[in-house]
Amino acid sequence: MQEKILINNQIKSERVRIIDETGKQLGILETEKAIQMAKDRGLDLIQVTEKVEPPICKFLDYGKYLYHLKKREKESKHKKGGEIKEIRLTFKISEHDLEIKARQAEKFLKRGDKVKIEMKLRGREKTLQGFAEEKLKKFLEVLEKLIPIKIEKELKKEIGGLTMIIIKK
């Protein structure tokens, strides 16, 4: 998206290529005449691109045009994928909760995101690390039944507990 959108009298070019509100090309016209035609239709003359000579302009409602640009920009941000999503497990997680977390991780993986599985250990839980690793293995088994996974970053002991990163196969 260009930094500043040029409309009506802000367009400096003497001649412009016109596309009307229906998408039909009207050809190359003088800028003043094109602005007058847009005003007669109750619309604005908006410069869409300046990369070609003469620049391409459309008859559009400026407010609606800005709205659609922002909407498109917002959608492109959402469709990135490949983000790292976190699933936090606790030391005392129940079997049912483990399955729910696995289904959540499955949704992230299907979208193309990486999943960081994190298990925080507090106090005496740190001494029972083997038990915590078993819980993580059980979680991976449940998840493996739902979707094929690949471990990107092996189980790692960190200050607050255990972490690992998985991706979809």
Q: Would you put residue 149 in left (φ > 0), alpha (ψ -120 to 50) or beta?
A: beta
Q: pLDDT tens digits for 120-150?
A: 888 888 888 888 888 888 888 888 888 888 8
What is the pLDDT averaged over residues 68-92?
80
What is the pLDDT averaged over residues 98-113?
88
- The CATH 3.10.20.80 portion of the chain extends over 8-77
Check residue 80 and give its pLDDT: 58
CA angle 139, 125, 114 (to 5 degrees): 35
As a whole number of angstroms, the distance between CA 48 and CA 105 comes to 42
Identify the sign of the CA torsion 139, 142, 144, 147.
negative
- The answer to whether 142 touches 98, Cβ cutoff 8 Å, is yes
As a whole number of angstroms, the distance between CA 131 and CA 137 comes to 10
- The answer to whether 101 touches 87, Cβ cutoff 8 Å, is yes
- The CATH 3.30.110.10 portion of the chain extends over 84-168
As a whole number of angstroms, the distance between CA 117 and CA 107 comes to 14
CATH class of 8-77: alpha beta
As a whole number of angstroms, the distance between CA 30 and CA 165 comes to 59
* Topology, domain 84-168: Translation Initiation Factor IF3 (3.30.110)
Beta-strand relationship, 56-60 and 114-120: unpaired
Check residue 1 and give its pLDDT: 44
With CA atoms as reference, report the closest residue to 136 among 87, 82, 81, 103.
87
